[in-house]
Structure 1
Amino acid sequence: MAPYRIRLYRDEDYDAVRSLFARGIMEHAPAMYRHVLCLTRVQLGLLSLFWAVCAMAGSWLLALAAVVLVLAAMWPVIHSFSKSFVTEALVADLQDIDSYYMRAPDSCFWVVEAGGAVVAMVGAAPTQDLERPGPAMELKRLSVSREHRGHGISRALCGEVLRFARARGYGAVVLYTSTVQLVAQRLYESQGFRKVLERSPSLFSRLICFHLIHYRLQLPSHP
Structure 2
Amino acid sequence: MPRFETQKSPMAPYHIRQYQDSDHKSVVDVFTKGMEEHIPSTFRHMLMLPRTLLLLLGVSLALVLVSGSWLLAVVCIFFLFLLLRFLAGQPWKEYVATCLRTDMADITKSYLNAHGSFWVAESGDQVVGIVAALPVKEPPSGRKQLQLFHLSVSSQHRGQGIAKALVRTVLQFARGQGYTDVVLETSIIQQGAMTLYLGMGFQKTGQRFLTMFWRLMGIRTIQLKYPFPSA
Classify 1:146/1:66 alpha carbon distance in 2 versus 1 (closer, same or farther; 3 Å). same
Is residue 19 of structure 1 aligned with residue 29 of structure 2? yes
Give the Å deviation of 1:96. Answer: 1.1
The code of the aligned residue for 2:108 comes to D
What RMSD over aligned residues (CA atoms) do the two structures have, in Å? 1.7
Number of corresponding residues? 221
Distance 1:159 1:124 in 2: 12
Quick one: distance in 2 between partners of 1:79 and 1:65? 22
Match of 1:177 in 2: 186
1:202 aligns with 2:211: yes
**Is the aligned partner of 1:56 residue 2:63?**
no
Q: Secondary structure at the match of 1:53?
A: helix
- The one-letter code of the counterpart of 1:35 is H
Q: Give the Cα separation in 1 of the matches to 2:187 and 2:102.
A: 19
Which SS does the other structure have where 2:218 is aligned? coil
Q: Please give the alpha-carbon distance, in whole angstroms, between the structure 1 residues aligned to 2:140 and 2:194.
A: 19
TM-score (norm 2): 0.91
Which residues in structure 2 correspond to 1:186-197 (within 5 Å)?
A: 186-197=195-206
Residue matched to 2:49: 39
Partner of 2:91, secondary structure, is helix
Conserved? CA contact 2:188–2:222, under 8 Å:
yes
CA contact (8 A) 1:128 1:134 kept: no
The residue that corresponds to 1:139 in the other structure is 148
**Structure 1: unaligned runs, 5 residues or longer:** none
Q: Is the 8 A contact 1:2 1:115 kept in 2?
A: no
% identity of equivalent residues = 39
> Is contact 1:2–1:114 with CA below 8 Å preserved after alignment?
no
Q: Distance in 2 between matches of 1:132 and 1:43?
A: 46
Larger mean Cα displacement after TM superposition, 112-121 or 204-213? 204-213
Please tell me the residue identity of whatever aligns with 1:219.
F
Question: What residue is the counterpart of 1:123 in the other structure?
Answer: 132
Gaps of 5+ in 2: 1-10
CA deviation vs aligned residue, 1:145-186 (integer Å, no higher than 9, x gap): 000011100111111111111111111110111121000000
Per the alignment, residue 13 of structure 2 pairs with 3
CA separation in 2, counterparts of 1:166 and 1:198? 25
Distance in 1, matches of 2:160 and 2:130, equals 14
| Aligned equivalent of 1:161 | 170
Equivalent residue letter for 2:208: R
Quote the offset at 1:134 in angstroms: 3.5
Does the C-alpha gap of structure 1 residues 2 and 220 become closer, same or farther in structure 2, counting only changes over 3 Å?
Answer: closer
The answer as to 2:186 corresponding to 1:216 is: no
Take 1:207 and 1:103, find their aligned partners in 2: how far apart are those partners? 38
**2:143·2:180 contact (CA, 8 Å) conserved in 1?**
no
Q: Is the 8 A contact 1:129 1:174 kept in 2?
A: no
Q: Deviation per CA, 1:63-98, whole angstroms, max 9, x where unpaired?
A: 122111111122122222210110111122111110
